[in-house]
């Protein structure tokens, strides 16, 4: 396979091959989607902003002992990553009730959960990324019991690290989505990205339910000022140790 050949294009990123079969090039797009791509648009400079934020957060996690696919950032909207086989699972960690958790349970938006909630969703757009029980997950052979324990453990560790970091940014980490992959040597590592596209982030300086939103919910809910919110997250992330 030749270098710089498109390997995969998703809703937010494009993966290209490189001269090394174990390394891929990730290109972050400005495209924005919501509701399983039923709503589409663009957010100016989103690719550059998300790539920079993900780079900073991957480095933070690596320094804290969390293995990731990140290698380095080679352009404003591109990073090199380790080639992995992505698990068909979205791992969602929730600290505060919002989004689908409220829609499906009736919990009020903003309710602080007594302990972080880890959920698993089948990564399948045609089925609407359904919520999975543990037994369904095993029935579908999406992960082994050992991998599931690793996913939960790493997700909770990542939550602890990111929650503390975003607090220093004066941002509340409401919930977020993670994706994991398996390397050629069988190691389970964090992949995909961590950004305002994959996290629900609230500005701690704001109390208004709409004004506090600093993530893709601004696009989903037509709240406006999407670019400004993403840029503000980037500035706070880069300014925080």
Strand partners, 91: 120, 178
**Who contacts 119 (Cβ-Cβ below 8 Å, separation ≥6)?**
91, 92, 93, 94, 131
Both tokens assigned to 38:
């039923």
Is 0.85 surpassed by the pTM of this model?
yes
Q: Which fold has domain 6-82?
A: Phosphorylase Kinase; domain 1 (3.30.200)
Query: Regarding the domain delimited by 85-225, which CATH topology (the fold level of the hierarchy) does it fall under?
Result: D-amino Acid Aminotransferase; Chain A, domain 1 (3.30.470)
Residue 32 forms beta bridges with which residues?
A: 41
pLDDT score of 1: 47
Residue-range domain boundaries for the chain: 6-82, 85-225
Which pLDDT score is estimated for 2? 57
- Which pair of tokens denotes residue 221? 């809910």
In order along the chain (241 residues), what is the average pLDDT of each group of 10 residues?
81 96 97 82 96 98 98 98 98 98 97 98 95 97 97 98 98 98 97 98 97 97 96 97 77
In whole angstroms, what is the distance from residue 216 CA to residue 139 CA?
33
At residue 4, the pLDDT reads 81
Angle (CA) 186-189-191 rounded to 5° is 125
């Amino acid at each position: 396979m030749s270098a710089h050949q498109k390997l995969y294009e998703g809703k937010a990123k494009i993966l290209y091959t490189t001269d090394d079969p174990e390394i891929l090039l990730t290109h972050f797009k400005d495209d924005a989607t919501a509701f399983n791509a039923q709503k589409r648009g663009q957010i100016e400079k989103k690719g550059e902003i998300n790539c920079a934020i993900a780079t900073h957060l991957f480095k933070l996690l690596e320094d804290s002992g969390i293995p990731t696919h990140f290698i380095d950032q080679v352009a404003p909207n591109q990073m090199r990553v380790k080639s992995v086989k992505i698990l068909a699972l979205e791992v969602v960690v929730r600290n505060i009730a919002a989004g689908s958790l409220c829609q499906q349970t009736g919990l009020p938006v903003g309710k602080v959960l007594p302990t972080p909630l880890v959920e698993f969703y089948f990564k399948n757009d045609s089925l609407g990324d359904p919520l999975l029980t543990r037994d369904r997950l095993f029935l579908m052979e999406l992960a082994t019991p050992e991998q599931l324990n690793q996913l939960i453990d790493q997700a909770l560790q990542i939550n602890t690290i990111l929650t503390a970091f975003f607090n220093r940014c004066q941002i509340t980490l409401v919930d977020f989505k993670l994706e994991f992959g398996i390397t050629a040597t069988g190691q389970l590592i964090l992949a995909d990205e961590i950004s305002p596209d994959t996290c629900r982030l609230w500005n701690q300086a704001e109390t208004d339910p709409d004004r506090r939103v600093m993530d893709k919910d601004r696009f989903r809910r037509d709240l406006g000022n999407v670019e400004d919110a993403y840029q503000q997250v980037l500035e706070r992330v880069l300014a925080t140790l």
